[in-house]
């Protein structure tokens, strides 16, 4: 099953962390052996998800930066499209399987 790393949330969190985490889980929880980091801000997020395969990090109002490991793949993605972009990255890497 997919593992998730998320921060505890604080005043710097730039989106509804619980709602976003649930949404990401609902679309990716069938993937095998992946670890996805979901972090509220850029301050501690990248360090806290250091061992994640993919990351979803708030970087500004309605903006997300997406990671592959510790590498930034896409910056300033609008939150409305960020989850689909993350899934596209996972698919592009060959790590996606369709939900049964």
CATH number at residue 67: 3.30.413.10
**38 by DSSP, 3-state: which?**
strand
Nearest-angstrom CA–CA distance, 100 and 81 = 24
Backbone angles phi, psi at 66, to 5 degrees: -105, 140
pLDDT per position as a tens digit, 76-96? 999 999 999 999 999 999 999
Q: Has residue 97 been placed in a domain? A: no
Q: Is residue 75 part of a domain?
A: yes
Q: The domain containing residue 24 runs over which residues?
A: 3-92
Residue 73 to residue 90: CA distance in whole angstroms: 11
* Residue 44 domain flag: yes
Q: Are 67 and 37 in contact (CB under 8 A)?
A: yes
pTM, entire model = 0.92
pLDDT grade for 97, boundaries at 50, 70 and 90: very high
Report the distance separating Cα 19 and Cα 50, nearest Å.
22
Q: What is the total count of domains within the chain?
A: 1
List, for residues 12-51, the tens digit of each pLDDT value. 887 888 999 999 999 999 999 999 999 988 888 888 898 9
């Amino acid at each position: 099953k997919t593992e998730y790393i998320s921060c505890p949330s604080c005043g710097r969190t730039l989106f509804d962390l619980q709602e976003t985490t649930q949404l990401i889980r609902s679309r990716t929880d069938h993937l095998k052996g992946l670890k996805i980091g979901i972090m509220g801000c850029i301050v501690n997020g990248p360090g806290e998800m250091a061992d994640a395969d993919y990351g979803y990090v708030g970087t500004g109002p309605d903006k997300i930066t997406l990671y592959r490991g510790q590498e930034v793949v896409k910056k300033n993605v609008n939150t409305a499209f960020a989850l689909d972009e993350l899934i596209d990255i996972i698919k592009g890497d060959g790590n996606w399987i369709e939900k049964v």
